[in-house]
Chains A and B, each alone.
Chain A
């Protein structure tokens, strides 16, 4: 396993693609988060009367960039697998590491590790910058707003949960990529899975179905972990939502592993 990990790390390290993608994850998360925070702060005005309100979730706003950067994480994970199939490298990989489960596990470890390496600075950078913007617009503790302290339990859940969210997106994308091999179809499937449930929920008029769609969608459920206020009104509790995404990711990786064992390379 150590050699398998080392091999995967070398593969990821020695091409330019992953480094650029990781940089994009960080920049997009921080950039879009800052834009959302600035736009929201300009559109409303800080006041003590509104401060107690449940909809006022500053932490969630600052983490809005994750909705964009998750697509880049998906590219990273899909390329890690499909790139090998496209170039035929997969045959060398499986010759060197004939135990396919081990090869897949090593690839998953390296990909998820890379995703986390980008997600930690991205998420915490977005939170700190977004909080500075909101405080600059008067959303301060003195005005009656929650302090948005980094050490508060709800803030930690939102930020660490977002890092986990991106890691799980990487796993989900990898599982699907192993299953279908072709990068175009894999990324199409991943993006459809992520974006379709919230789109459908917007389209159906029945509130019960709407709620169910938001509960089972990997993106809509997983991102619930970012909520810090009004938690009781959510379709699922924040951690349960992330659990739904974890279940999707586990199912995708299991299906991928099964296919990899049964199939010719």
Chain B
């Protein structure tokens, strides 16, 4: 060996690990992010806390459906009545009826109709001049039985919306828009043939227009049919600076009906007048010799046959619990991002996974799934507990599908808000600013809308264009055009349809994610 040999390093093969190369796909990245999330004890505890808070807050909500005085809650809104389809309805009117078997038809002429208002209490102010209930109803109705909530079909004149055919509470078909007056009376007819009821109207009693047909569930041989009158409570709403003021008035529809005729298998019998369910009213034979063809009846009544508006139900508890969980999850999701900046962990993270879009996707996936799970677990605990806390029938129970939509929707809502926090976190990086931005966007529009600060129209806009639109996913009771109501956020009504509202929230999250992706690509890791 010479000196020269010693000076030259011995040729060696370059080092190679004997371990097989590991894959660096998206699955590995998600696993890495999941490990980060799982191994910070505070975050795991936070998830458990979010579930506990959500359950507790859900249970504190008795909601507007129940009657509570001094902390003692009793069975719900004056014994809810349910339609055969399962929805809560109101079924009160004055009914002049007889039992009729088999097929046949009933015809009347409405010669005049009025609707009058009277203050509901001694302290209510007189109604504004020109105020009138436009959904006063009078006409003919066929019901499967005398049980409140039973199926029906009716042809009726209204005090402001012309002639209608209505059946099974939610169906409303418009006929001619003329009001029934002495000069222009309206003829109405209902025909039963087997299970099918057909409604007709006419201006002269000889040329008939078909309005529609209804197939009633559970229609037996015997039905209750006859004349009716009803008129809902009228509320006069005055928009004040900083609030809506409502005054309630009783209203009574009164109609003069003549040319009453029963045809087919239906014999002429004696009429019986009944104040049906909570309805009130009266009827009298006004003139004539006592036979239907020659007698005019004046039927007056208060009440309504319609879907119940403005009541909430058990499915809303998931929504009420969501706020507290939302705060906890926003804090967690934000920390999951900002901690990487704070502890300079982003450098190693980026070295291991240089594709920044993938990193953002992995973080969103982990946080979103965690938030979604919190929502599902909390609902799974809260909904059965809530049902047990309340006496049977105290709260409206929505269908299983609607309930599933609300529970699933609220869980998705939590997930999307958490992803929004991740995206804003990447852009802004300061956790206090991130959390405040997300929570103010989520909670403040809702608070402003349900509080009395903003008038209805502005509150509606706020819940259309901010991420708080997503809370519409919890809406369960639809808006019925044939029922006058205050369809505003504080009553549980959102201006957007459930999935449309949710789409607005998703659009915000998608925009934020896009911006976060751009920022993450363009920025130095350590900046």
State whether the Cβ of B404 lies closer than 8 Å to any Cβ in chain A.
no
User: What are the interface flags for B402-423 relative to A under an 8 Å C-beta threshold, 1 for contact and 0 otherwise?
Assistant: 0000000000000000000000
State whether the Cβ of A79 lies closer than 8 Å to any Cβ in chain B.
yes
Asked whether B436 lies within 8 Å of A199 as measured between CB atoms, the reply is: no
Instruction: Tell me the bound Cα distance from A188 to B421 in angstroms.
Output: 13
Asked whether B447 lies within 8 Å of A74 as measured between CB atoms, the reply is: no
Number of A-B contacts (CB under 8 A): 157
Interface residues of A in 51-69 (CB under 8 A from B): 53, 55-58, 60-61, 64, 67-68
Asked whether B432 lies within 8 Å of A195 as measured between CB atoms, the reply is: no
Closest to A199 in B: B323
Asked whether A184 lies within 8 Å of B331 as measured between CB atoms, the reply is: yes
Residues of the B chain whose Cβ atoms lie less than 8 Å from the Cβ of A235: none
Q: What's the dominant secondary structure at chain A's contact region?
A: helix
State whether the Cβ of A78 lies closer than 8 Å to any Cβ in chain B.
yes
Cβ contact of A56, chosen from B61, B242, B432, B446, cutoff 8 A: B242
User: Given A68-B440, A205-B68, A206-B69: A188 and B243 within 8 A (CB)?
Assistant: no
Residues of the B chain whose Cβ atoms lie less than 8 Å from the Cβ of A44: 238-241, 455
Residue from A36, A60, A184, A195 with most neighbouring chain B CB atoms (10 Å) = A184
Tell me how far the C-beta of B285 lies from the nearest C-beta in chain A, rounded to whole angstroms.
44
State whether the Cβ of B450 lies closer than 8 Å to any Cβ in chain A.
yes
User: What are the interface flags for B249-290 relative to A under an 8 Å C-beta threshold, 1 for contact and 0 otherwise?
Assistant: 000000000000000000000000000000000000000000
User: Given A36-B453, A53-B240: A187 and B66 within 8 A (CB)?
Assistant: no
Tell me how far the C-beta of A233 lies from the nearest C-beta in chain B, rounded to whole angstroms.
12
User: What are the interface flags for B71-114 relative to A under an 8 Å C-beta threshold, 1 for contact and 0 otherwise?
Assistant: 10100000000000000000000000000000000000000000
Residues of the B chain whose Cβ atoms lie less than 8 Å from the Cβ of A55: 240-243, 245, 452
Asked whether A187 lies within 8 Å of B490 as measured between CB atoms, the reply is: no
State whether the Cβ of A224 lies closer than 8 Å to any Cβ in chain B.
no
Residues of the A chain whose Cβ atoms lie less than 8 Å from the Cβ of B458: 35-36, 39-40, 43
Residues of the B chain whose Cβ atoms lie less than 8 Å from the Cβ of A72: 436
Asked whether A195 lies within 8 Å of B57 as measured between CB atoms, the reply is: no
- Size bracket, chain B contacts: 35 or more
User: What are the interface flags for A196-218 relative to B under an 8 Å C-beta threshold, 1 for contact and 0 otherwise?
Assistant: 10111011111111000000000
Residues of the A chain whose Cβ atoms lie less than 8 Å from the Cβ of B342: 86
Tell me how far the C-beta of B345 lies from the nearest C-beta in chain A, rounded to whole angstroms.
14
State whether the Cβ of B470 lies closer than 8 Å to any Cβ in chain A.
no
State whether the Cβ of A259 lies closer than 8 Å to any Cβ in chain B.
no
Asked whether A204 lies within 8 Å of B61 as measured between CB atoms, the reply is: yes
Instruction: Tell me the bound Cα distance from A200 to B321 in angstroms.
Output: 9
Tell me how far the C-beta of B406 lies from the nearest C-beta in chain A, rounded to whole angstroms.
15
Closest to A75 in B: B432
State whether the Cβ of B525 lies closer than 8 Å to any Cβ in chain A.
no
Cβ contact of B447, chosen from A58, A75, A195, cutoff 8 A: A195
Closest to A39 in B: B458
Residues of the A chain whose Cβ atoms lie less than 8 Å from the Cβ of B238: 44, 50
Instruction: Tell me the bound Cα distance from A75 to B65 in angstroms.
Output: 38
State whether the Cβ of A82 lies closer than 8 Å to any Cβ in chain B.
yes
Cβ contact of A184, chosen from B67, B334, B443, B448, cutoff 8 A: B334
Interface residues of A in 1-50 (CB under 8 A from B): 35-36, 39-44, 50
Cβ contact of B455, chosen from A43, A57, A74, A188, cutoff 8 A: A43
Asked whether B436 lies within 8 Å of A56 as measured between CB atoms, the reply is: no
Asked whether A204 lies within 8 Å of B60 as measured between CB atoms, the reply is: yes
State whether the Cβ of A192 lies closer than 8 Å to any Cβ in chain B.
yes
Tell me how far the C-beta of B146 lies from the nearest C-beta in chain A, rounded to whole angstroms.
32
7 A-B pairs, CB-CB below 8 angstroms?
Answer: A44-B240, A55-B240, A55-B452, A68-B444, A184-B331, A184-B335, A205-B68
